[in-house]
Amino acid sequence: MMKINQKISNFNSKNPLPIDECIEKVLYDQKSGYYTNKDPFGENGDFITSPTISNLFSEIIAIWLISTWEKMSKPKIFNFVELGPGDGSLSKVIVNTFKRFPEINKATNIYLYEKSNFLIKLQKKKINNKKVKWIKNLNSIKNGPVIFFGNEFFDAIPIKQFTKRRNTFFEKYFNLENKENISEIFIKGSNQDIIQIKSFETLKKLTFIEYPKKGFLELSKIIKKISELSGGILLIDYGYLSSHNSNTLQAVMGNKKISIEKMFNNIGKADVTSLVNFNLLKEFFVKNKLKVKNIVSQKFFLERMGIIERAQILEKKMTKKQKKYMSETLARLLEEKQMGKLFKVIFGYKYKNNDFFGFE
């Protein structure tokens, strides 16, 4: 059995870690982190995301961006930031689609915001275009409205978990009891975290709370930029509208769910995510003075943006085999039992108009 403490620094029986700190190390440790060592995407990876299922998904995001730029009266400088671009599939399609629309192409700066140096290398190989810049902070975005987009970005940022017993909050930690055994322990939560949690109406009645503290820190930087320049943030992720006190932490390896224990025995080989609480996200956006469109399902959004019509056009030039493949991938994106319903779309924005496409 693997000696877990050799893989995660400062993790030993005397130093239990809050689960977000522990998972951060599991995913991003320079030596053994999941995202610092391998390409997890696609059929042969650990999970399949919408941009790696079908270019149609990314084309629809490109069309949505063009429509948003038009709704903003075609600004001469327009910034697009992809958050957590993974293997670069989506931005590659955005770059190629924009080439066919010279006016927006000229106006747009494309930025990729990526934490993993390993994935940055992969993205640079895939997207060889001078327009695209890789950034680790948002300082270089200075003029023009800015649109942030993230597919499965927020769910990849580790969350905290708490239980509430008689109005006292206890935070979940992972504890390494000996060199091989991991247990969960609960320690009284910090005042600062409890104040934050209590400030959200969405979390008020819960006895088991998932709190995306790190995710909110990321969003705060993004919202500051949106407030400064105007624009918005479009997030697509798998999640729910209201929590039922459930533990949604899950590990995935080889396209299959595995237990958290098994994940600890496969550090660097398994991904850890959680479902996104969309009503909490909405409350966070509103608190930070963004306006929010209706939260809709991925199926609703992609269909409203014309994915079926786009597929019908492409179909005309396809072989039977290609048609079959496209209809299978489309079903994966849209069917309620697949990604259509569980995946949701939220748009928070600061702009004088409200009539952006896709949500009504």
Ligand X SMILES: C[S@@+](CC[C@H](N)C(=O)[O-])C[C@H]1O[C@@H](n2cnc3c(N)ncnc32)[C@H](O)[C@@H]1O
Residues that bind ligand X (CB under 6 A): 35, 41, 49, 51-52, 84-86, 113-116, 119, 151-153, 156-157, 218
Instruction: Note whether 204 and 164 are within 8 A (CB).
Output: no
Nearer to ligand X (CB atom), residue 52 or residue 108:
52
Nearer to ligand X (CB atom), residue 52 or residue 175:
52
Nearer to ligand X (CB atom), residue 110 or residue 206:
110
Nearer to ligand X (CB atom), residue 39 or residue 283:
39
In 3D space, the residue among 278, 251, 48, 233 whose CA is nearest the CA of residue 158 turns out to be 251
Instruction: Note whether 58 and 96 are within 8 A (CB).
Output: no
Quickly tell me which residue has 């079908």 as its tokens. 54
Nearer to ligand X (CB atom), residue 52 or residue 97:
52
Q: Least distance in Å: CB of 307 to ligand X?
A: 16
Q: Least distance in Å: CB of 153 to ligand X?
A: 5
What is the secondary structure of 322-347 as a DSSP string? Answer: HHHHHHHHHHHHH-IIIIITTEEEEE
Q: Least distance in Å: CB of 237 to ligand X?
A: 9
Nearer to ligand X (CB atom), residue 115 or residue 310:
115
Nearer to ligand X (CB atom), residue 30 or residue 245:
30
Q: Least distance in Å: CB of 216 to ligand X?
A: 12
Separation of alpha carbons 5 and 9, rounded Å: 7
Residue nearest to ligand X (CB): 84
Q: Least distance in Å: CB of 86 to ligand X?
A: 3
Separation of alpha carbons 250 and 259, rounded Å: 7
Instruction: Note whether 262 and 251 are within 8 A (CB).
Output: yes
Phi, psi of 272, deg, nearest 5:
-130, 130
In 3D space, the residue among 206, 196, 215, 200 whose CA is nearest the CA of residue 150 turns out to be 215
Q: Least distance in Å: CB of 197 to ligand X?
A: 21
Instruction: Note whether 259 and 251 are within 8 A (CB).
Output: yes
Q: Least distance in Å: CB of 158 to ligand X?
A: 9
Instruction: Note whether 18 and 160 are within 8 A (CB).
Output: yes
In 3D space, the residue among 145, 292, 288, 135 whose CA is nearest the CA of residue 219 turns out to be 288
Instruction: Note whether 25 and 199 are within 8 A (CB).
Output: no
Nearer to ligand X (CB atom), residue 19 or residue 194:
19
Nearer to ligand X (CB atom), residue 61 or residue 176:
61
Nearer to ligand X (CB atom), residue 109 or residue 116:
116
Separation of alpha carbons 179 and 7, rounded Å: 11
Q: Least distance in Å: CB of 43 to ligand X?
A: 13
104 Cβ contact partners less than 8 Å away, ≥ 6 residues apart: 65, 66, 69, 74, 78, 98
Q: Least distance in Å: CB of 290 to ligand X?
A: 19
Q: Least distance in Å: CB of 188 to ligand X?
A: 27
What is the secondary structure of 132-186 as a DSSP string? Answer: EEEESSSTT--SS-EEEEEES-GGGS--EEEEEETTEEEEEEEEE-SSS-EEEEE
